[in-house]
Structures are given as C-alpha cells and as structure tokens.
Chains A and B, each alone.
Chain A
Amino acid sequence: MRLLTGEASLRANEALLVSNAHVAAQIAVALTTLR
C-alpha cells in the first residue's frame, strides 16, 4: 500500500507540476499580447 502510494504520488506530482508549468507559460504568452 505504501509502496503503491509512493510511486503513484510521485508520478502524479510530476504530471501536475509539468502541466502547471506549461499552462503558466501559455498564460504568460497570452498576457504579452494583451498589454
């Protein structure tokens, strides 16, 4: 249970971090067109 949780949470953590970085960059790009 703990092993499964550790591996699963690591994968999920990485996935959400990368998704957030990608979205943040898209927002930053869009912001430059709105000034």
Chain B
Amino acid sequence: MTSSRFIIAEHVAAALAAGRPVVALETTLLTHGLPPPHGLRVARGLEAAVWEAGATPATIGILAGQVHVGLDSHGIETLAASNAVKVNPGNLAAVVAAGIAGSTTVAATAWAAARAGIRVFATGGIGGVHRGATETGDVSADLAALARHPVAVVCAGAKAILDLPRTREALETLGVPVLGLGTDEFPAFYRRSSGLAVDARCDSPAEAAAAIEAHIALGLPGGILVANPIPGEHELPSDLHDQALATALADAEVAGVRGRAVTPFCSNECGCSPAKRACGPTRRCW
C-alpha cells in the first residue's frame, strides 16, 4: 500500500495489520480551520483523545509531495508552519506532483483513509451545499467523497454557514446514511439541533459501530456519516449563534462577496501563510 507518494506510518500500518482500531484525522483544521497556535494545539489534542480511547490516530497530510497517513509530531509541526495548500480531490494530484505541502479536507482525508484501509475518520463538520447554490452550483466535494469512499465520518454536522436543509437533502440523494448519535436530528455544528431528521438514531458508539459493520457486511457502497452533536455545555446560545451568523452574512453582503466566496469570507480563512492566518481572537470559525 505504501509507495513513494503514499506513505503509511509504521505504527499505523502495524495497527491495521493487527486489526487494531485506527482513526483518521484531517489537517485542514491545522492550517486553515483554526488560527495559530490553536490549530497545532488542537491537532495534538485530537491525537491524544484517540489514544486515550484505545485507538491509534492517523493524522493525514501532504509534505514535500508525499501523502502521509500518520504524520508524526515533527510532521504535524512542519505542516502547521508551512504554506500548505488546502487539498481536495481536484488539486490533490497537482500538489503531490509539485512536491509541496498540503492539508487535507474531509474529501481528501476520506480518500486517503479508505486507500489505507482505515474505516473511521473524525472531523469537525463536513462541507455541503453552499448558500446560494441554486445560483452558483457550489457544492462541496465532501459530499461526493462521502458517497464514494467506505469510511465512517464522525462530525458535528455540516459547517454552520452552509445551507443545511439542502445539504441534508443532498446526503439523502447520494445515499449516504446519516446516523444520529444520541439524537434524532442532524446537528448544526455549534448548535445541537437543526430541525432536520437523521436516517437512524444510535444511542451509543457500539450501536453506531454495529450499523457501520452491517453497512460494510451488506456491501453497501460508500461511507456513513455519524452525526455527533456538540457537547451541551459548549453549545453556542441560539441568540448569539443566530446573530453572529446574520452579522457574518451581512458583512459579506456589504463587502460585495457573493457565491462561493461567502463561506471563506465568513470563516475568515485568511490564506495559506501562517502569518496571514494569525487573525487573532476576532476570527470567526464557521
């Protein structure tokens, strides 16, 4: 499986060969999703959380044109300090061919995890149908990747800035099962509920695992979304959430930002350079 362009770390390969649990982790949060130094701290915290629960973390990213499944601590630091390109299926091969650094989105991570034989992947929120997509056609590659790659993706729903009803509808159209962990509703990232139904409710990780195992055993194609609502004590109050979202969208309107540029504008994704990403505490993370 390992090649000069696709490298599975020894400890990850050993865990997979022995049938031990492995969890894939993405790196867009490290380079674009959270401002420094939070991205690096959180990336390390996610690895620790996976270890503590008895599984092996496999943080996925691209360094010097090589896809790494299971970046070590130095690799994660190197990626965080690099001018990493945000990598999706559309530019993955070009980034590898150029020999540069790249951080993997949900779509790219799901592909790499599936290729490595990893069945479970944790992220924050998936991409989906963007607001105004009826005009722009802007739909994240994450949705097609979920339908294509046999990986269970654990998330807190889709990014809050997206068109959630259309995103939920698209998942259904693509045949991606959505399991609600302890909930009947598709979570809304910073909010535990959205008013949108999941396909099935599971009240424990073991119950979700049983559904995932049945999906695999039946030979059903593609992946599964496990929707895990944000812990209640960290849920943003609805008034703050709704006001902040409305303000972000209004700022975009005033700035003349439209279509597919709205989401990065509202997310304050400030470019690839670590210096440019250091937006400080006013940064919003939608």
State A6–B42 Cα separation when bound (angstroms): 16
Most buried by A among B38, B49, B280: B49
Identity of the chain B residue whose Cβ is nearest the Cβ of A18 in the assembled complex: B49
- In Å, the complex CA distance between A31 and B46 comes to 20
Chain B positions 188-222 with a Cβ under 8 Å from a chain A Cβ:
189-190, 205-206, 208-210, 212-213
Is the Cβ of A28 less than 8 Å from the Cβ of B21? yes
Q: Does B20 contact A (CB under 8 A)?
A: yes
Q: Is the interface of B mostly helix, strand, loop or mixed?
A: mixed
> Across the interface, do A26 and B205 meet the contact criterion of CB distance under 8 Å?
yes
Q: How far is the CA of A29 from the CA of B123 in the complex (A)?
A: 17
How many interface residues does chain B have, given as a range? 35 or more
Mostly, the A contact residues are helix
Partner of A5, one of B25, B230, B234, B240: B240
Interface status of B90 (Cβ within 8 A of chain A) = no
Structural contact, A27 and B286, CB atoms closer than 8 A: no
Cβ-defined partner of B154 (8 Å) among A2, A10, A14, A27: A27
Whether A28 pairs with B119 at a CB distance below 8 angstroms is yes
Q: Of the 9-residue stretches B52-60, B138-146, B269-277, which lies at the interface with chain A?
A: B52-60
Residues of B within 8 A of A34 (CB): 209-210, 213
Given A2-B284, A12-B234, A30-B209, 10 further pairs, Cβ under 8 A: A6-B280, A14-B38, A14-B42, A15-B234, A16-B125, A27-B120, A27-B154, A30-B205, A31-B209, A35-B213
